């Protein structure tokens, strides 16, 4: 395995050298990002991993390329830790989203060895010694692993993903039975990571498809006994680009990091449209 980092993208993407002796060198170019000192050595169990990363800057690059980096990580580190090690100690120009690092914010969904995953939930020991990281499929790449999520959130907003009631105010909280709460419990778990929608062949084939994530978030309110806009949401989803674009492929269910039974939820919405069963 090579001891130094390879950069395949040329000067446009900035330096990808991994030589730790250069960490304290003065910045050669005004645009070069400041580097942190070399990371402290890890105690035991460290293994070298080659990370192959999709690189693309539409402002400067004619086409995407892949760059390879070698990082020293623990088997119990996550892929996100490997990306951080690259960004913090090798190439500060590497661009990706992350925030919570604990599987809650949904911001670091990406393709890891060809499968949509959250980088903060995939352990190094569960990937081979060479891991390939790419942006989600089906959205415009803004830079490296960052995609334009606006079309995704536009579809999400289109299904009225918020409580609607008939305007009556109540003296106390709106009570709900345990059984009624159970009907939409699963779909409350969505973190809007887009792993489902961007793993769906129906979405790849037609970007106007509202997508599984939007249907999941519609389901969360359609089956809530306290909400009064189920009919409006079902009308929105009763469309060629709504639930009927779903071909029950199950990719979404397999991709979801929250283990939401997405295909089941979509089926329940289809049934509610056909049989008017949203409130039974
Ligand atoms: S349903 Fe699952 S995969 Fe889809 S956006 Fe929500 S959390 Fe992510
Ligand atoms: S960084 Fe928040 S879910 Fe991974």
The CATH number covering residue 77 comes to: 3.10.20.30
The domain total for the chain is: 2
What H or E segment, with its residue span, contains residue 151? helix 150-158
Residue nearest atom 2 in ligand 1 by C-alpha distance:
256
Q: Which residue from 100, 102, 130 is spatially nearest to 114, judged by alpha carbons? A: 130
Rounded Cα gap, residues 213 and 210, in angstroms: 8
Shared domain check, 154 and 115: no
Whether 51 contacts 71, CB under 8 Å: yes
pLDDT per residue over 126-142, tens digit each? 997 899 999 999 999 99
Residue nearest atom 6 in ligand 1 by C-alpha distance:
190
- What is the best residue among 82, 97, 99, 122 to mutate for testing ligand 2's pocket, by most ligand atoms within 8 Å of CB? 99
Ligand 1 atom nearest the C-alpha of 256 is 3
Shared domain check, 231 and 163: yes
Shared domain check, 223 and 143: no
Q: Name the region of 8 (left: φ>0; alpha: ψ -120 to 50; beta: rest).
A: alpha
Rounded to two decimals, what is the model's pTM? Answer: 0.84
Closest-approaching ligand to the CA atom of 195? 1
User: How do 130-134 and 47-55 pair as beta strands?
Assistant: parallel
pLDDT at 2: 33
Residue nearest atom 3 in ligand 1 by C-alpha distance:
256
Shared domain check, 257 and 224: yes
pLDDT at 46: 82
| CB-ligand 1 contact for 213 (6 Å cutoff) | yes
pLDDT at 34: 57
Q: How far apart are the first and last CA of the chain?
A: 61
Q: What is the CATH number of the domain that holds 234?
A: 1.10.1060.10
Closest-approaching ligand to the CA atom of 100? 2
Residue nearest atom 3 in ligand 2 by C-alpha distance:
103
Q: Which domain holds residue 72?
A: 11-147
Higher pLDDT, 170 or 96: 96
């Amino acid at each position: 395995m090579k001891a130094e980092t390879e950069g395949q993208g040329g000067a446009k993407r900035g330096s990808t050298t991994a030589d730790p002796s250069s960490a304290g060198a003065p910045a050669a170019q005004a645009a070069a990002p400041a580097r942190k000192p070399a990371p402290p050595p890890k105690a035991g169990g460290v293994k070298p991993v080659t990370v192959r990363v999709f690189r693309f800057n539409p402002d400067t690059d004619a086409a995407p390329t892949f760059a390879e980096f070698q990082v020293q990580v623990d088997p119990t580190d996550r892929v996100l830790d490997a990306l951080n090690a690259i960004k913090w100690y090798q190439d500060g120009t590497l661009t990706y989203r992350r925030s919570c690092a604990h599987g809650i914010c949904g911001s670091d969904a990406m393709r890891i060895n060809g499968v949509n995953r959250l980088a903060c939930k995939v352990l190094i020991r569960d990937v081979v010694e060479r891991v390939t990281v790419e942006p989600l499929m089906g959205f415009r790449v803004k830079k490296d692993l960052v995609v334009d999520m606006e079309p995704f959130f536009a579809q999400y907003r289109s299904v009225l993903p918020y409580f609607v009631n008939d305007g009556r105010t109540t003296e106390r909280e709106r009570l709900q039975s345990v059984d009624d709460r159970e009907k939409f419990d699963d779909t409350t778990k969505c973190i809007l990571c887009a792993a489902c929608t961007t793993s769906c062949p129906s979405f790849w084939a037609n970007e106007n498809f509202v997508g599984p994530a939007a249907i999941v978030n519609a389901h969360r309110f359609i089956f809530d006994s306290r909400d009064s806009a189920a009919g409006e949401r079902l009308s929105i989803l009763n469309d060629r680009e709504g639930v009927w674009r779903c071909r029950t492929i199950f990719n979404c269910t397999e991709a979801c990091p929250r283990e939401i039974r997405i295909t089941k939820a979509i089926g329940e919405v289809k049934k509610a449209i056909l049989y008017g069963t949203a409130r039974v």
